[in-house]
Structure 1
Amino acid sequence: MRQIYLLFAGIIIVIPFIINAVASPTPDGSFLFNKSFTDTVPAGKVPDSSKVNTIRDTLKPVKANLPSTDSIPAYTDSTGTDSLHLNGPKLSKDSLDAPITYKAKDSIILVVPDKKFYFYGTANTKYKKTSLSAERMNYSQSTGIMEATTATDTSGNPYGRPQLEDAGQAFDSDTLRYNINTQRAKIYHTRSQYGEGYVHSEQTKRAPDNSIFGFRNGYTTCNLDTPHFQFRARKIKVIPDKLVISGPANLEIEGVPTPLFIPFAIFPITHGQASGILVPGYVVNAQKGMGLENGGYYLGLGDNMDLTIRGDVYSYGSWSLTASPTYRKRYHYNGGMTLSFANTRFGDPSVKTEFSRSRDFRVTWNHSMDSKARPGVNFGASVNFGTSSYNTYNVYDYSTRVNNNIGSSITFSKTWQGKPYNFTAGLTHSQNLSTRDVSISFPAATFTVNTLYPFQPKEVVGKAKWYHKLGIGYTTTLANNVTFKDSVFGKSKMFDALQSGMKHNVPISFSIPVMKNFTLSPGVSYAEYWYTKKTIRTWNDTKRVSIDSVGGIDTTYQAGFFAARQASASISLSTALYGMYQFGKNSKIKAIRHVMRPTLSASYQPDLARSAYYDLRYNRGGDSIRQSYYTSSSVGVPSEGRSGSISFGLDNNLEMKVFSKKDTSANKEKKIKLLDGFGITGSYNLLADSFKLSTFNIYARTNLFDKLNITASGNIDPYVVNARGKRLDKYVWQEGSFSLGRLTSGTIAMSTSFQSSDKKSKAKEQEIQNLENEQSTDAAFQAQQRQLAAVRKNPGEYVDFDIPWKLDLSYSLSYSKTIIPDSGGVVTSFNQYLSFNGDFSLTPKWKIGMNSGFDFINRQLAYTTIYISRDLHCWQMSINLIPIGTYRQFSITISPKSGILRDLRINRSRTFYDL
């Protein structure tokens, strides 16, 4: 093996100066003697005698007990260097091709009659990248054998074991012997590392081709001197940088042999790609039967591509197949794709009334482009698309099960250097797995001309004129959108629902400072909408929509070219007002600052889109609402009616200064945000025939004490409604109610997180940062995605034992009350949900965790997972439990932490369905 070869290189470090010392018990003063063996003097030149014996002239002798009278004095802290000059005299065949350094903390001794050379006290030799260290070393010239051994302290304990290091690989042994002539080595009680594995051998032989043969061996991935487990084998062979091959082996745990025997074993130690079989895991599933999961094959296709194929098969006939290719080109792009197909069977095929099957698929694709590959051009993709029932029968992890929405995006963008043009194009997709609604927008494109200032000179002399800030821009948007149920994908109904359109927008704006603290911003905007389809919806009294009711809405489509327009002119005025309240000197609260940012604007909009709207009746009572022919348009719909509005808004910010001992400044103050923002917006249409006052939008957001995030928003309607929910042109306060109006919709969300301190947090952050840096130049992104998928599937196997406990909480409340024509009237929606997840350590090696939530409306626990983990140093045990719900599961896994033995796991899992 390469490591043993490095050992040989380290041993022969001492050869040149050993031979130089055997002719005499003391260094010879003759130039010719030293010249023949040190190879340090160029041909034809005789140096001064004071420069010949480097060690003798530079080191001071001290008293020492010598093994014989025919020995040179011992020197403390002895060091030296033998070097080779290629332009010097003719060299002997055993000369070296690089400088060698050597040293011994105690002494270096040459015994001439025995032709032996001794190193004492932390001896070390270095040759190129090879380093050999030991407490004792000796070399015999007569046999050509170099020996490195330990020493014994006053208590009889050995110390200073021989250590060989080269290129990050290390060898540790009791005794090491190497024959320079035959290039063979024999090592006793050695411990070597090969990749993630360690080999312990009583005796090891090294062949001239660097291969290693071991006798009475143990192979393990545990890095302890006495490993927790190992495979005991009588014979083993190591092919450097390729394989560790073993004969019959027995698994031994804590020194106790187990009944598990294997006829042979092959452990790869190659770096980089290595094609091979992926061992499946055994499972028991109540719906699918006994099965083998995640078995397959990994195929390395070079530095730029690889392919992983995995499959599942079950005794009741269900199966699935997944292909995951990844690709990469450093400094250009990287990405990966997953194609999954699954066939799930239910019931007995012989009984047709009870038998059914579900054929599902899922496609994911991620692609990212290095920004430096083509400046100004970027292409990226994040695709997640499939059948709604794929997760139902093939996915069990918590985060996927509780998320009913998936989406995709593929984007291309180009920016012209030095020009105000931008272009983007792409595809977007959203899918609700619960309602089975799918929305796809493709192709979609936007071309933008950034704001131009046609009246601004290239060089402004003196004070700028107001018209210098007059800017004009242009944006055009092309969009094609279709919304359908996933059951009609690829069918005519899907294409019938396709909507296409284009929107052009030309804004003209500029800003003028007024009285220093105010900003006046006039503006004009024109927009034009183009459509290819008109949707006409009419009430049908005879349409039967259910057993109990008659009447519904019919929908027809009209193809062609249709256009709608919208224009507006506006002017706005904004400023900021500051208020400060100072507290007394003895108060811990120093001050409270309030910032108000009021805005006031006026706008005019002619009624250019009246022809785009019609009256839609939506119930048997004759109630109707105004609706656009292009309601489902992909580019939006202009608003109807003439408008002369005055809009207003008020945003607030509230901060507090308190006394703080931690502040290192002289003020000893700390700033606390009480409210990041809260405010209200609305408008009043002076030209409207009715309903002149708009709804009020209110909002608030804060992060209290940097721990509690709170966001809230709502919509208040100032008008009253009749018994059927239809708005009347009468304000709420005219009915004697002291309020702004009715709350038609609102949301509030709160979240917080608590955890104990982590001493290794900085190191982990640095590791994450390094990984993110690698993603921009390598394929680490795909590996990380696969790792995250494994974490979601088995959270108990990936826990952080450095954090004793943590808890994450989030709460959300939403309310809405709106008129939906297809439902026949007013629909009220109310949702309230609390989610929580966390874990805690029973002991430094035991951890319990849970992910769950509570639905207050249905009064039941949400999808829940519980896991228990045990750190076994080189092994890890995890128990994953889904105790309630339609899909219940239990699994226990014990597996090594090392990736090379990841498939050597004990797994037992059961899945139960309540359909």
Structure 2
Amino acid sequence: MKKNNQRLIENGVWVVNFYNCIKIRKKLLFTYVISLFQPSTISLIIFVIFFYAGLSFSQVPDSTARTFQNPAQDTSRTFKKFSSNEDTVKAPPLKIARTGIDSVVHYTAKIIESDLKKNITYLIGDAEVKFKKMTLKAGKITVLWDTHTLIAEGLPDTTNGANGSSPDSLRRHYTQLPVFSDGTDTMRGFRMEYNFKTERGRVIRGRSEIEGGFYFGEAVKRVAPRVFNIANGTYTTCDKEEPHYHFKGKRMKVIMDDKVIARPVIFFIGKIPVAFIPFAIFPTKKGRQSGLIMPRFGSSRQEGRFLRNLGYYWATNDYMDTRFTVDFFERSGFLFRTDMNYALRYHFRGSLSGSFARRSFPGNLKETRWDFRINHSQEIDANTRLSVNASFVSNNSFYQEFSQNRSQRLQRQLISNATFTKSWGDGKNSLTLNLSETRDLETGASSRTLPRLRFNRNRSQFFPFKKSKKGGRSTENAKWYNYIYYTYSGTYLNLVRKDSTNDPDPRVERRADHTVNINFTSPKRIFGWLSFSQSINYREKWVDRTKSFSIDTLTNRVVEHEDKGFAARRIFSVTASANTKLYGLFPMHLGPVKAIRHVMTPSISFSYRPDFSSPFWGYYQTLKDTNGVEIKRDRFGGTPRGEVASLNFTLSNLFQMKLGEGEKEKKINLFNLDFRSGYNFAADSLKLQNLFTTFRANPRRNLGISMNMTHSFYDFDRETGRTIDKLLVNSRGLFKFIRLTQLRFDLHWRLSGKKGGPGKSKKGFEQKEATEVEEEGSVIQQNQSPFGNRFEPENAFSAFDIPWRANVSFSFSINKFNPTRVTRTAYIDLSNVELQLTRKWRVGYRVRYDLENGEIADQRISLYRDLHCWEAQFNWSPSGVSRGFYFKINIKASHLQNIKIEQRGGTTSIFSPF
């Protein structure tokens, strides 16, 4: 290219040939004079350029920035000093007439050169062009104004690899390679061409990252906004220059934030081709999206070959999604599963989940199995709510036959509930309608409540406080009767019971009861330190049938009968209690410890309840067997027996430690020690109740200790095996006035290393969380059921960012109620034991050890290996009902995890807990 002037270097400073500059200025002046005779904005443009050219030689900045729309009227070339030590200086924007470009173009570079004859601008050194949302950066950018084209490329690397680039790397020969970004999308390449009028472009050796995946291509062409065509394209989630795996397609089409379509596709592990498919679709859309669910293949001795988890995920809309999957087993049949989630923020959410299986059994016997679950929660209005949680199965062994989830296999009871709740009157009144069923999967027994209707009136005053002049209620001049409160609850129940699944005669029971509690609490402390309260509890129960009893003279056993007809039962009790608090402070100066505080709360209460088993009330039937022994049976069920006139004692102790002083002062609870006992004046024997002791301590946030003990004040008859009405203090002396009957000790300790160590979380360890759609009102998470995946195994490793962790539990219990038959149990549990051996290796362990019998009750060993973009996991249970192993190698990327190799083994075959 012929130059109109020359640049000379003298002492490191750019010098301009003023003779050529004067010639250029004369040409500009002549052009400007001619343009004055034409009423066009071009004259203004040339005038501005003329004076700008004059100023450009009097002050030379290190870099230049311009804002322009069309520089075609520029008649000079400007040369700037190449320097990276100074900030870019931006000149005021030039207002230039439009020539087909509908937006302003901003550009900066260290050197800016313009060829007026060819209408080309050269941006050299940290060049950057911005147009609308598009940004193009490169070592050199050429602007072809006639064709509205940008050509971006790198600069030769004069260091010749001294910066550490490898000999095979492009960066050994070129630096500042082009980077194109459009909003949040970024494309890198060796050479780029972009037309900022049509907004189309072409990239040589392009590379882009979308949603954690990398796309390469020998030629990348931008055919529309956010749409690229790629020739000889490659896709991978591995960030290595030589990826550990990739998909290669002769032709690819990338739709940003949507998908990548490629055909044909070859899957490579390293440089070795391992699979061929006619076409492939890789999702890149954020959030949920519909698509096929890749299956996994395998075989077992019991089921033969199998294909598991083949299906389709349907993201119906922002408020609902569904997953359909099916498992095929060569010898036993198939299992079809579907899971649907739905939600509308602030209104309702729920899920439906079901499965259907047809299995073959020995003897050419075929049977169907199914299960169904529903979970629904709805807020109808601020005071009305509806919730449903139900589970149904075809037979008692369904989950043992089909589930791989350990917790699900051990669950032997199904509980279903549907509850409607309505409240009003400032929340004091509430009405609850409940339908429920509890089914025992072992025995087949069931209990259904159809329905349970309950009304509650929360704590309210019999005589409210007087209204004040301000409109509210004031406690001034309140009377003692203003502190009398009551609560009320009423329940109607229709109960259907079955003793087994095939019970031909289920028992139906209908009853209603209501409870009234009246409580009085003194507003003032007696003597200034004693709190006093008293209450009356009344409960009435209505039933449509009662029980009657007779003696079978042949077997001398009690026979139960059912008598239909209305009957009522009324019971009541009264209670009075008093309590206070005592404080003790023990100053000390042991480092940061300033004092120990002891808070003691003694309380005493008296309760009275008559003996409702006496004939006076008619709630019990008295019988005599053939031996003349008197027997009492409850006609209603749940009627309290025996008179109670007990004086109860409770002593609660809280020990605290005071640390620091002033604003830095804080209190730490050391431990609680509580004692409870009582004396029943109405009992005919054993009037003194057991002494119950509770100890609780949390010396650290990760350490919890608890102990519960029960002591008896009475002696034990070893011959009859019963506690006798004889105080130990009388038979054994003052120092043996009490004996231990039960003790339980529990210790829970959560241990972990410090964050940021060698176990700092990696992509392989991070928990795969479903993406929540960000649009307003959408709260669906991709395929996240509240039931969890009951057919899949639990994850052996949890997400954490610490080098190691472990939960240690120790439990010990002893029962000495009968001193001749003492029973003990002792277990050590190690759960969630996870250790980061190296940055790549991780081991997990879980064990439950029976100390009393000296054997392992259950254990599992897990190994994890981070293989960069792959991961491997091995689980082994050497003993127990779930013994076996499971080995898997898979790609880490969540949308490619079904590309894996796995192997299972064990007594439970494919239905193992792994």
Question: 2:567 is matched with which residue?
Answer: 562
Tell me the matched-pair count. 843
Contact 1:280 1:293 survives alignment (8 Å): yes
Q: Give yes or no for the alignment of 1:300 onto 2:304.
A: no
| In 2, Cα distance between equivalents of 1:721 and 1:774 | 69
Question: 1:629 is matched with which residue?
Answer: 635
Tell me the alpha carbon deviations over residues 311-358 of structure 1, each in whole angstroms, 9 at most, x when there is no partner.
Answer: 222222243222211111133222212213445555x315xxxx7x88
With 756-765 and 679-688 compared, the bigger mean Cα shift is at 756-765
Match of 1:426 among 416, 428, 434: 434
Deviation at 1:755, TM superposition (A): 0.7
Q: Which amino acid is the alignment partner of residue 379 of structure 1?
A: L
Question: 1:510 is matched with which residue?
Answer: 521
Question: 1:396 is matched with which residue?
Answer: 404
TM-aligned CA distance change 1:217 to 1:404, over 3 Å: same
Question: 1:646 is matched with which residue?
Answer: 647
Q: Which amino acid is the alignment partner of residue 317 of structure 2?
A: G
| In 2, Cα distance between equivalents of 1:427 and 1:599 | 41
TM-aligned CA distance change 1:382 to 1:864, over 3 Å: farther
Match of 1:836 among 825, 830, 835: 830
Q: Which amino acid is the alignment partner of residue 238 of structure 2?
A: C
Match of 2:277 among 238, 262, 265: 262
TM-aligned CA distance change 1:720 to 1:518, over 3 Å: same
Question: 2:579 is matched with which residue?
Answer: 574
TM-aligned CA distance change 1:713 to 1:60, over 3 Å: farther
Match of 1:230 among 230, 246, 250: 246
Match of 1:467 among 478, 481, 497: 481
Match of 2:60 among 59, 62, 66: 62
Question: 2:80 is matched with which residue?
Answer: 74
Q: Which amino acid is the alignment partner of residue 849 of structure 2?
A: F
Deviation at 1:594, TM superposition (A): 1.9
Question: 2:124 is matched with which residue?
Answer: 120
Question: 1:758 is matched with which residue?
Answer: 755
Tell me the alpha carbon deviations over residues 95-148 of structure 1, each in whole angstroms, 9 at most, x when there is no partner.
Answer: 31x4443333x1332221232112223222333332222222111234543101
**Correspondences of 1:97-176 after superposition (within 5 Å):** 98-104=103-109, 106-156=110-160, 157=172, 158-176=174-192
Question: 2:656 is matched with which residue?
Answer: 655
TM (norm. structure 1) is 0.80
Say which SS state the counterpart of residue 392 (structure 1) adopts.
helix
TM-aligned CA distance change 1:385 to 1:698, over 3 Å: farther
Deviation at 1:806, TM superposition (A): 0.9
Contact 2:133 2:182 survives alignment (8 Å): yes
Question: 1:450 is matched with which residue?
Answer: 458
| In 2, Cα distance between equivalents of 1:231 and 1:784 | 29
Contact 2:319 2:780 survives alignment (8 Å): no
Q: Which amino acid is the alignment partner of residue 108 of structure 2?
A: K
Contact 1:381 1:410 survives alignment (8 Å): yes
Q: Give yes or no for the alignment of 1:871 onto 2:866.
A: yes
Q: Give yes or no for the alignment of 1:186 onto 2:202.
A: yes
TM-aligned CA distance change 1:813 to 1:57, over 3 Å: farther
Question: 1:749 is matched with which residue?
Answer: 746
Tell me the alpha carbon deviations over residues 414-452 of structure 1, each in whole angstroms, 9 at most, x when there is no partner.
Answer: 332536212333345556656666555453343222222
| In 2, Cα distance between equivalents of 1:851 and 1:38 | 82
Say which SS state the counterpart of residue 514 (structure 1) adopts.
coil
Question: 2:539 is matched with which residue?
Answer: 527
Deviation at 1:841, TM superposition (A): 1.8
TM-aligned CA distance change 1:404 to 1:195, over 3 Å: same
Say which SS state the counterpart of residue 907 (structure 2) adopts.
strand
Q: Which amino acid is the alignment partner of residue 795 of structure 1?
A: N
Deviation at 1:229, TM superposition (A): 1.4
**Correspondences of 1:670-709 after superposition (within 5 Å):** 671-675=667-671, 677-709=672-704
TM-aligned CA distance change 1:812 to 1:112, over 3 Å: same
| In 1, Cα distance between equivalents of 2:494 and 2:776 | 33
Say which SS state the counterpart of residue 381 (structure 2) adopts.
coil
| In 2, Cα distance between equivalents of 1:207 and 1:775 | 29
Deviation at 1:523, TM superposition (A): 2.0
Percent of residue pairs identical: 25
| In 1, Cα distance between equivalents of 2:774 and 2:621 | 57
TM (norm. structure 2) is 0.80
> Which runs of no fewer than 5 residues in structure 1 stay unpaired?
1-20, 86-90, 544-550, 632-636, 820-825
TM-aligned CA distance change 1:100 to 1:561, over 3 Å: farther
| In 1, Cα distance between equivalents of 2:301 and 2:560 | 45
Say which SS state the counterpart of residue 221 (structure 2) adopts.
strand
Deviation at 1:299, TM superposition (A): 2.6
Deviation at 1:215, TM superposition (A): 2.1
Tell me the alpha carbon deviations over residues 178-235 of structure 1, each in whole angstroms, 9 at most, x when there is no partner.
Answer: 3467765221111123444321112122335864332222111223444321112333
Question: 1:212 is matched with which residue?
Answer: 228
> Which runs of no fewer than 5 residues in structure 2 stay unpaired?
1-23, 65-73, 82-86, 161-171, 469-473
Question: 2:163 is matched with which residue?
Answer: none
Q: Give yes or no for the alignment of 1:380 onto 2:387.
A: yes
Q: Which amino acid is the alignment partner of residue 572 of structure 2?
A: A
Contact 2:575 2:606 survives alignment (8 Å): yes
RMSD: 4.6
| In 2, Cα distance between equivalents of 1:579 and 1:79 | 74
Tell me the alpha carbon deviations over residues 10-67 of structure 1, each in whole angstroms, 9 at most, x when there is no partner.
Answer: xxxxxxxxxxx9998799878979999989x9xxxx899789988987997418999x
Say which SS state the counterpart of residue 317 (structure 2) adopts.
coil
| In 2, Cα distance between equivalents of 1:273 and 1:114 | 51
| In 2, Cα distance between equivalents of 1:341 and 1:684 | 60
TM-aligned CA distance change 1:552 to 1:118, over 3 Å: farther
Say which SS state the counterpart of residue 843 (structure 1) adopts.
coil
Say which SS state the counterpart of residue 401 (structure 2) adopts.
helix
Tell me the alpha carbon deviations over residues 242-300 of structure 1, each in whole angstroms, 9 at most, x when there is no partner.
Answer: 4422223332233x223333333222334455433322212334433332222222233
Q: Give the number of the structure whose alpha-carbon radius of gyration is greater.
A: 2
Contact 2:511 2:541 survives alignment (8 Å): no
Contact 2:772 2:779 survives alignment (8 Å): no
Match of 2:907 among 895, 899, 912: 912
With 514-523 and 387-396 compared, the bigger mean Cα shift is at 387-396
Say which SS state the counterpart of residue 803 (structure 1) adopts.
coil
Contact 1:31 1:49 survives alignment (8 Å): no
Tell me the alpha carbon deviations over residues 826-846 of structure 1, each in whole angstroms, 9 at most, x when there is no partner.
Answer: 999865443222111221111
Tell me the alpha carbon deviations over residues 461-511 of structure 1, each in whole angstroms, 9 at most, x when there is no partner.
Answer: 7454332222222222334455656634xx545x31656442332323222
Say which SS state the counterpart of residue 647 (structure 2) adopts.
strand
| In 2, Cα distance between equivalents of 1:474 and 1:55 | 94
Q: Which amino acid is the alignment partner of residue 78 of structure 2?
A: I
